[in-house]
Amino acid sequence: MSRCWLTGASSGIGAALAKCLLEQGHQVALGARRADSLAPLAAQFGQQTLLAIGDIDDPLQVAQMAAQIEQNWGALDLVILNAGTCEYLEPGQFDPLLVERVVRTNLVGLSHCLHAALPLLRRGQRPHLVVVGSSVSWLALPRAGAYGASKAAVRYLIESLRIDLINEGIDVTLVSPGFVDTPLTRRNDFPMPQLWSAERAAAHIAARLPRRPLEINFPGVFTQVLRLLGALPVRWRLKLGQRLARKQQE
């Protein structure tokens, strides 16, 4: 069974995926900012778990998490970088600090984790790197500029990194979910078509990991529609975005 580091393990897809992996018998280093949020999993699975507590926005904390994993296990076979955040830009209220916050976690924080994880993966058995992106990277949507830009950057980063890592024997999978019922999405004030539960999303990911696909996308119909719409001419995409956009608040 694999030695796995899973970030964002305290809620949403991460918490559900952690339980799936632990039930399969894997050892899982559970990453989160607070230990108390991981207590139920740690109590249930005991020696299979390692609490890797820290904020991925802080490179020193990420390095400490990796050092803890190295001290206990020596290497990693599977890394799932799932931690992320989402905030929306309101019409007429562009906020560069909001953009910075989202990009700092979703892209820069991810990069800190990659830097810490890759040396451990290189020592692992059949190493596998999995990164959770978003289907929003295929189609620009209103208000989603910060989140979408961060996830589009994640897609490019991971697809480029995959080219560099293939000769090292490290498989790379990019996960692009649609809407999943999580604490983050519950704050959304708009319709979320084909919403999946976190448990369904986690089971879908866990079932496909052994095949080491280049991508895992879901729900199938929703993500395929987004990809097709993203391939439309720019002016058509603009018209679609206008239809979806909310009016500027007075």
- The SS3 of residue 52 is strand
Using alpha carbons, list the distances in angstroms from residue 137 to 25, 28, 145, 213.
33, 29, 10, 19
Residue 182 counted as domain residue: yes
- The SS3 of residue 102 is helix
Q: How many CA atoms lie within 13 A of 169 on its CB side?
A: 9
Whether the Cβ atoms of residue 189 and residue 101 lie closer than 8 Å to each other: no
Residue 183 counted as domain residue: yes
Residue 250 counted as domain residue: no
Residue 181 counted as domain residue: yes
* Residue 247 pLDDT: 58
Q: What is the pLDDT along the chain (250 residues), one digit of tens a residue?
A: 899 999 999 999 999 999 999 999 999 999 999 999 999 999 999 999 999 999 999 999 999 999 999 999 999 999 999 999 999 999 999 999 999 999 999 999 999 999 999 999 999 999 999 999 999 999 999 999 999 999 999 999 999 999 999 999 999 999 999 999 988 888 888 888 999 999 999 999 999 999 999 999 999 999 999 999 999 999 999 999 999 886 544 3
pTM value?
A: 0.94
Residue 51 counted as domain residue: yes
Using alpha carbons, list the distances in angstroms from residue 29 to 154, 176, 217.
23, 23, 25
Closest CA relative to residue 21, chosen from 84, 76, 85 = 76
- CATH classification at residue 216: 3.40.50.720
| Domain limits for position 24 | 3-244
Residue 109 counted as domain residue: yes
Structural domain count, the chain: 1
Using alpha carbons, list the distances in angstroms from residue 249 to 94, 191, 207, 225.
13, 19, 44, 30
* Residue 83 pLDDT: 97
Largest Cα separation within the chain, whole Å, is 58
* Residue 186 pLDDT: 82
State the pairing for strand pair 49-53/78-81.
Answer: unpaired
Residue 229 counted as domain residue: yes
Residue 249 counted as domain residue: no
